[in-house]
Amino acid sequence: MTGSRAIGLTTAAGAFLTFGMAPLATAPEAGADFGDAIDAAIAPFLDATGSNLDWDAVLTPTAWDTFLAPAHWDTVLAELGALATPGAAVAAPVDPAIWLQQYFYTPIHTGIQGWIHSDLGQQVNNLINQPFLALTGRALIGDGIDGTAENPNGTDAGWLFGDGGAGWNNTEAGGIGGAGGNAGMFGNGGAGGDGADGGLGGNGGDGGNGGWLIGVGGAGGDAGHGIYTGAGDLPALGGAGGNPGMLGVHGTHGRYGTLDGAPASPEYTGLSTSGSWITDSDGRVVVLHGLNQVYKIAPYEPSAGGFDNDDAAFLAASGFNAVRVGVLWAGVEPQPGVIDYDYLASINQTVQTLANHGIVSIIDFHQDFYSASFGGDGAPDWAVLTGGLPNPDVGDIGTYLINPAQLHAWDAFWGNAKAEDGIGLVNHYARMTEAVANYFAGDPNVGGYNLINEPWPGSPWLSSFFGNPQFDAQQLTPFYNQVASAIRAVDPNTPVIFEPTFLFNTVVPTSLGTVDDPHGIFGFHNYCLANSVFDIDFGCAMNFDIILNNAAGYADSQHIPALMTEFGATANTSVIAETLRRTNPFMYGWMEWAYTGGDVASSSPEGQALVFDPHLPPVGDNVDAAKLAVLAEPYPQAVAGTPEAWSFHDGIFRFSYSTEMISGSGHFGAGTQTEISVPKAIYPDGYQITVTGGHVVSPAGAPILVIASDGPGTVNVTVTAAAVSAPGAG
């Protein structure tokens, strides 16, 4: 393929990336009486073998007494109650997997490890393991063997108990770390080995999976450091963490590498975050209003659908300052390890076209129903692993719920199953996002990377219908951490946007954990179920309030901004208007779905469009004028201070803000400017303004109203339609 190049996704001993987590707490230990009783019971056997089992070394009295203390169990029970009581007052949010890990798994795991490594345990286990080794080639109880230069991957633990062996830390220039071995039913996955320095750096090895019942996934190995040789070189990435079992904890990913001699990044002038707000390079709060433009069929480029300069001009004239631009995995990485730079050049053409009209692009790594194989879009064919299961045509949402092949494909993805080149699917995905971020790094016209659209849990979806803390916290959150880390390897500044699962749209709250990124934004979608299913607006107001409060609950707990990246998808303007009315009090930015129709993954592909055919000019009957009149409401685009409230009702826009910087470092000085969009679609005959605490500095009737503050304090702005003289008057 012209314009494509390989990006160094080499295989070595089945390893590429990995995650991992160490045990969370020192194990509680048993009292001397318990140990003495056991010692007495097995004393004859100990004497016969000459072995010595030191129980106090395994389970000490002090820790065991602490574990049994009433105060300890008061804490345990209080946290357990918080799991079943949303909003309950606890010191910190409780993740059930972490809770089980700390209070139950760790002490038991420590005891089992003490047995496995004792003289007696090794002799007894050796007898037990012989038939299993003969029948399956794998022991029943015992730890895996660590990797070596000759055999870099750690081996798996016993079927029942034990920890996987650690992967080898590669010492050959640019070599990849070995993968950690898997645990059996109960135990920790082995840590992935570190990649070696040299070349472009070696990727870290993947951590082994934790026990299928409970355990900790192995930590991913760190990447090696390399030498920059030219444009397109990408730093090596740390290994993916090992997956958890049903009740376990996902491993943490490894650290990414660096490239010595790489060009210094230019001064960053794009969007950033500060606390709960999106900001510009001057520290002003930025509010985004815009639409989605995702072309879901090959060649996956907005320009192929007719989106061009006149569309960008139309959006800007209507007051919009953002577009969520679809970038599909199938377009970026059409073959394993090959990046199509012609595709990225086409996306960049759209980004720059929008930028010429003052519109920022959100790069949206979009998917629906995982891939085109299931009537949607997203993953390339080579990344669709169905396990040979049937792929029936069950229509739209039925694909998510009951299509066996599609559910298996998601399970394979989350499980980081190996693609045909022996590299995990999540590793490929992370490397793909790294390549895109490297291409756009430093471009102030890219306002963020939306890490994946509407992720679906796969086969555990039914357990997620009322919230699934295990999937959200121990599968989706680590995925976001790994992908965000890949982007940070090449772009330290541009915000990353991460979403809850698709089920958040059905008013199911999220149990996402903390995404470890300095500029993270919580992106969420807000659709009315009644409107989506029955094309009515009954109950939509309550529906919107629940979703908005769920979004605020998570974003506020993490002290990060929230951004409504999808809503609408309907020709019912009363539903769209109600969404905006309910959203404005939260002061969230938004992007409506969608600019154009023809959506292959929608049951109403044309009804959702603002402009019906981008191949034609966006004028007259080619525009849904009623929808535009609702969407093009006034709003603050850049605020020199802290927004306090805004509203728009019956043609009257009201806005108040303090001049205090959201960083808390003081006030913006007198004369600092705030920009407010007042599009002609809303005020065709002009507008009039009332201001206290500031004054207007923009020309009369300008589409961007500019207010300069008079000094520290509060600025209040009211915009109404200009008075129109009666015919013949004056």
Band (pLDDT 50/70/90 cuts) for residue 603 is low
Rg (CA), the chain: 29
The reported pLDDT for the residue numbered 82 is 57
Q: What three-state secondary structure class fits 128?
A: helix
C-alpha to C-alpha distance for 202 and 169, rounded to whole angstroms: 10
More confident residue, 78 or 103: 103
Q: What pLDDT score was predicted for residue 599? A: 74
Query: For 134-167, how does the pLDDT look when each residue is reduced to its tens digit (9 = 90+)?
Result: 999 999 999 999 999 999 999 999 999 999 999 9
The region of weakest confidence among 78-87, 181-190, 361-370, 661-670 is: 78-87
Beta strands in 542-617 (DSSP E): 562-567, 589-592
Please give the distance of CA 159 from its chain centroid, rounded to a whole number.
Answer: 33
What pLDDT was estimated at residue 440?
98
* Tokens 């659908």 sit on residue: 305
Please check whether residue 616 is in contact with residue 622, taking contact to mean a CB–CB distance below 8 angstroms. Answer: yes
Residue 583, sorted as left (phi over 0), alpha (psi -120 to 50) or beta, turns out to be alpha
Burial of residue 166 (CB within 10 Å: 0-12, 13-18, 19+) is buried
Structure tokens of 590?
A: 């938004």
- Taking the model in full, what pTM does it have? 0.89
Comparing 30-39, 285-294, 295-304, the range with the smallest average pLDDT is: 30-39
Res 725 pLDDT > 60: no
For residue 241, is it left (φ>0), alpha (ψ between -120 and 50) or beta?
beta
Question: Average pLDDT for residues 70-82, to the nearest whole number?
Answer: 64
Q: Which fold has domain 272-632?
A: TIM Barrel (3.20.20)
8 or 569, higher pLDDT: 569
Q: Which tokens is 180 given?
A: 């950690």
Nearest one of 218, 217, 236 to 226, comparing CA atoms: 236
Average pLDDT over residues 201-223: 98
CB count within 10 Å of CB 708 equals: 17
pLDDT at res. 81: 61
Q: Report pLDDT for 598.
A: 73
Residues 4-15: pLDDT tens digits? 433 333 333 333
Select from 346, 355, 296, 345 the least CA-distant residue to 322: 355
Q: Which of 83-87, 130-134, 476-480, 655-659 has the lowest mean pLDDT?
A: 83-87
User: CATH topology for 639-721?
Assistant: Immunoglobulin-like (2.60.40)
Return the DSSP state at 191. P
Tell me whether strands 714-721 and 652-658 are parallel, antiparallel or unpaired: antiparallel
With cut-offs at 50, 70 and 90, classify the pLDDT of residue 606.
confident
Provide the CB-side half-sphere exposure for 365 (13 A, CA): 29
pLDDT tens-digit map of 401-460: 999 999 999 999 999 999 999 999 999 999 999 999 999 999 999 999 999 999 999 999
Say what the pLDDT of residue 621 is. Answer: 96
- pLDDT averaged over every residue in the chain: 88
Own/partner contacts of 572-578, CB < 8 Å, gap of 24 or more, are 572/531, 572/535, 572/537, 573/626, 573/627, 573/629, 573/630, 574/537, 575/528, 575/531, 575/537, 575/540, 576/627, 576/630, 576/631, 577/630, 578/537, 578/540, 578/541, 578/544
Q: What pairing do the DSSP bridges indicate for beta strands 272-274 and 277-279? A: antiparallel
Task: Report DSSP state, residue 159.
Answer: S
Decide if 176 contacts 16 (C-beta within 8 A): yes
Dihedral angle of Cα 275, 358, 590, 460, to the nearest 10 degrees: -80
Place of tokens 């390989």: 6
Whether the bond into 37 is cis, omega within 30 of 0: no
Q: How confident is the model at residue 78 (pLDDT cuts 50, 70, 90)?
A: low
d(CA 686, CA 680): 7
- Strands 562-567 and 520-526, bridge-based pairing: parallel
pLDDT, average across residues 452-481: 92
Summarised one tens digit per residue, pLDDT across range 512-568 is 999 999 999 999 999 998 887 777 788 899 999 999 999 999 999 999 999 999 999
For the residues 321-347, what does the mean pLDDT come to? Answer: 98
Give Cβ neighbours of residue 498 (< 8 Å, ≥ 6 apart). Answer: 450, 451, 452, 480, 484, 512, 515, 520, 521, 522, 523
Residue 628 has pLDDT above 80, yes or no: yes
Report which DSSP code applies to 591: E
How far is 546 from 523, CA to CA, in rounded Å?
16
Q: Which of 523, 588, 654, 526 is nearest to 277 (CA)?
A: 588
Percent of the residues in the chain that have a pLDDT greater than 90, as a whole number: 78
Other Cβ atoms less than 10 A from the Cβ of 38: the count is: 14
Mean pLDDT of 63-80: 61
Task: Give the side-chain half-sphere CA count within 13 A for 323.
Answer: 31
Q: Which of 376, 357, 355 is closest to 366 using CA atoms?
A: 376
Q: What are phi and psi of 520, to 5 degrees?
A: -90, 145
Angle, helices 106-117/119-136, rounded to nearest 10 degrees: 90
Is the pLDDT confidence value at 91 over 60?
Answer: no
CA dist 401 and 419 (Å) reads 24
Q: Is the per-residue pLDDT at 376 higher than 50?
A: yes
Domain boundaries in the chain? 1-263, 272-632, 639-721
